[in-house]
Chains A and B, each alone.
Chain A
Amino acid sequence: DTGVSQNPRHKITKRGQNVTFRCDPISEHNRLYWYRQTLGQGPEFLTYFQNEAQLEKSRLLSDRFSAERPKGSFSTLEIQRTEQGDSAMYLCASRPGGSNTGELFFGEGSRLTVL
């Protein structure tokens, strides 16, 4: 399968714990996005990487959230000191570079439940 891969698919954690999600984009895609989606809402932008550079970060992203893409391939999204309001689906998407148009390819998401 050469699609966008995310893991874990589900994560249940207690409030105050740290969690980390991983995204493996389609191999030739140098642009990678993280989105958050809550029930009944559209995907909400979190952050954007072009290769290893984090070029955009949403103001909604508190300092408890950090994302990396160290070698311009896979990416991780870490949430520290989780809160119940962090419960959501975290979606990763990628797309190829070289064009300012083109579809986003989404992974199946990592669902976080904070108890």
Chain B
Amino acid sequence: GQQVMQIPQYQHVQEGEDFTTYCNSSTTLSNIQWYKQRPGGHPVFLIQLVKSGEVKKQKRLTFQFGEAKKNSSLHITATQTTDVGTYFCAGPEYNFNKFYFGSGTKLNVKP
């Protein structure tokens, strides 16, 4: 079945440093979503990428979808303590009846 893998598992940065998490799928994805889960919270949708090579920005966050639609990345510029949490990518199965989540990258930002 489809597998979605994320690296790194953990990232500790100093406030102001940049952060990147990578997501790789074993199969071609029709689209990919990114979610953020704060400590003790539930996953909250950030963005969805659909087109090959697509790049989207949300303030300090930049999301990319690979040309082959099998990988994606999330880059945060100049991290802040409010960025703390776990970032998950999720890809749908072909019929969209299920979404496969990566194992997540836990970001800790030291002030």
- Name A residues whose Cβ lies closer than 8 Å to a Cβ of B: 33, 35, 40-45, 48, 50, 55-56, 58, 91, 100-109
Q: Please tell me which stretch of B11-19, B39-47, B59-67, B70-78 contacts chain A, meaning at least 4 of its Cβ atoms lie within 8 angstroms of it.
A: B39-47
Per the bound structure, the CA–CA distance linking A94 and B13 in Å amounts to 34
- B42, B92, B97: which has the most chain A beta carbons within 10 Å? B42
Number of B interface residues in the complex (CB < 8 A): 25
Hey, which chain B residues are within 8 Å of A104, CB to CB?
A: 33, 35, 43, 45, 90, 99
Q: Which B residues from 84 to 111 make CB contacts under 8 A with A?
A: 88, 90, 92, 96-104, 106
Per the bound structure, the CA–CA distance linking A58 and B44 in Å amounts to 23
Hey, which chain A residues are within 8 Å of B101, CB to CB?
A: 35, 42-45
Q: Which of B30, B45, B98, B104 contacts A45 (CB 8 A)?
A: B98
Would B48 and A103 count as touching, CB distance under 8 A?
A: yes
B68 on the interface (CB 8 Å rule)?
no
Q: Min CB distance, A38 to chain B, in Å?
A: 11
B52 on the interface (CB 8 Å rule)?
no
